[in-house]
A and B are shown apart, each in its own frame.
Chain A
Amino acid sequence: MASVLGVYAKVVRAQIRSQTQYRLSFAFEVFGSVIINGLDLATVFVLFSVAGSLGGFAGPEVFLIAALSAFAFSAADLVVGNADKLRDYVRTGLFDTLLLRPLSALWQLLAVNFAPRRAGRAIQGGIIYAIALVVADIGWDVPRIVLAVVAPIAGAVFFGSLFVAGATVAFWWVESGEVANAFTYGGNDFTLYPSTMFGDWFRTVFGSVLGFSFVAYLPTLALIGRSDPLGTPDWLRWCSPVTALIAAVVARAFWRLGVRHYRSTGS
């Protein structure tokens, strides 16, 4: 196991080396992605400043929801973000090259396309999240400390599974990218705000059925000790690791299905 990880680490390192070849462009990219990450959050603040509250929640609470969401998303983006390169691989037949190596095709796809420029966003996201936790004035106890640490990880796993599932569609529909975007980037937008802001059926579909409310909204409610004005049972607010796990399992199964389909129909 350790040696397999070692191999992936080497591939990732090679990828970093090859990207930093274009140094000026790389600097632009890192700078750019740090700013872009700020944009999502900035939007939340700007809108908040107009109304003084959002969805019935005050400043620190809104901040925490947004920060948790942004951190989870950027962490997922760092590790799994380039899964959508699959589309190019399938289209050009380059995916065959991955199948010819004695490694898992999915991890190769991620390692070979690792984007070091995204590290900036993730780190920034972590810092902002930490600040948000302090500002939110939480009544700290052991369960809450655990949740504060676990929630971003669960959120990242959730988004990561979404990225993989979205990319997997390329095995059937090569030009499918945009549909996946609706759920990954759209989902990200949804999780940045308190779920109370959205209309009934839309909220049910995105928040409960697809599980986006579990990423940031519900954990924040648990951390600040508020019950969901929408009526979700209190114990459910702690369940983001569970939804993340389910998402990961589903994504993996779907990926396997996709590879099997690819190997049976060729490129």
Chain B
Amino acid sequence: MPRAPWALMVAGFRRYATYRQATVAGIFTNSVFGFLRCYVLLAVAAGGTVAGYSGPQLATYVWLGQGMLAVVNSWTMLDLAERVRSGDIVADLLRPMDPLWTYLWTDLGRAGFSLLTRFSVPMVVGAVAFGLYLPTHAVTYVLTAVSIVLAVIVGFACRYLVGLTAFWLLDIRGVSMFWSFASGAGSGLYFPLAILPDWLTAVLWWGTPFPSLLQAPLDVAVERGGDGHAVLVIGGQAAWAVALLFACRIVQARAVARLVVQGG
């Protein structure tokens, strides 16, 4: 792998590895929420199914979802907005590598670290406390991994776009709140999207990147709809990833053109 991206990934990994307290705290929180959501969904299913998901599938859905929260990390904004606000962004723009890529590789490193810690531990807790659905085909594991990576990229691109609005808005609290809500609700965090009326799920899947963040890898993992469906889902994620990264480049070019550095 070319040196700069690899170095950035390692740097991102290392940086988050130093936040030991926060990682432990995060694992704890994910586990607590795992219990809460799992009990609620299982109570709703009451031994049967919910929108086509069986009890164990729901358990996997919840715990995998919790595990993935930190990996996709779509609720925590990138430093980008802060750096725009303080004017430090100029230093990033003067580097030979486009900040979009430096931020991306660093974020992937971070995701890698989260995968090792905040993903694996809650999964184990969930497996012990409840019965999880384990995929029956070996290829599902591979597909799930691919789907997770794509989810991280989509999440990154969206957060980067939100960060870019700082060039126009300076204080992006409102936008990031809106993003957090939309991505939370639309990604299947609170409940499986399939519960919603068909037209709404269609709009979400075809018109927004949100399901790609969480619902997509979750559906792939519980083998919903079989391998064919999984490939379709992953294809959708890939399409969103490409489109969003492209959008980032365009918006960034315009932002740089309009650059006003605030803060002296």
Contacts of B180 in A (CB 8 A): 36
Pairwise interchain contact B32-A32, C-beta atoms closer than 8 A: no
- For B44, give its contact among A36, A54, A189, A198 (CB under 8 Å): A54
With A and B bound together, what is the CA distance between A51 and B37 in angstroms? 16
Query: Does A182 contact B184, Cβ atoms closer than 8 Å?
Result: no
Asked whether B191 lies within 8 Å of A197 as measured between CB atoms, the reply is: no
CA gap between A12 and B37 in the complex, in Å: 37
The reply to whether B29 and A186 form a contact with Cβ atoms under 8 Å apart is yes
A46 to B188, alpha carbons, bound, how many Å? 13
Note all chain A residues with C-beta closer than 8 A to B40: 47, 193, 197-198
> In the bound complex, do residue A26 and residue B174 qualify as a contact, i.e. CB atoms below 8 Å apart?
yes
Q: Contacts of A32 on B, CB cut-off 8 Å?
A: 174, 177-178, 181
A interface majority secondary structure: helix
Q: Is B98 an interface residue (CB 8 A)?
A: no
Contact A179 B25 (CB under 8 A): yes
Interface residue? B93 (CB, 8 A): no
**Cα(A79)–Cα(B32), bound, Å:** 26
Q: Does B26 contact A (CB under 8 A)?
A: yes
Docked-complex contact B174 and A179, CB < 8 angstroms: no
Q: Are A181 and B191 in contact, CB atoms less than 8 angstroms apart?
A: no
> Contact string, B38-64, partner A, CB cutoff 8 A, digits 1/0?
011101111000110000000000000
Contacts A173-B21, A175-B22, A179-B25; A24 near B46 (Cβ below 8 A) = no
Which residue among B37, B180, B184, B185 has the maximum number of chain A CB atoms within 10 Å of its CB?
A: B185
Binding site for B on A (CB under 8 A): 22, 24-29, 31-33, 35-36, 39, 43, 46-47, 50-51, 54-55, 173-179, 181-183, 185-186, 189-190, 193, 197-199, 202
Some 10 contacts from A to B, beta carbons below 8 A apart, are A26-B174, A27-B174, A28-B177, A36-B180, A39-B181, A39-B190, A46-B196, A176-B21, A185-B33, A189-B36
**Which residues from chain B sit less than 8 Å from chain A, CB to CB?**
19, 21-22, 25-26, 28-29, 32-33, 35-37, 39-41, 43-46, 50-51, 169-175, 177-178, 180-181, 184-185, 190-191, 195-196
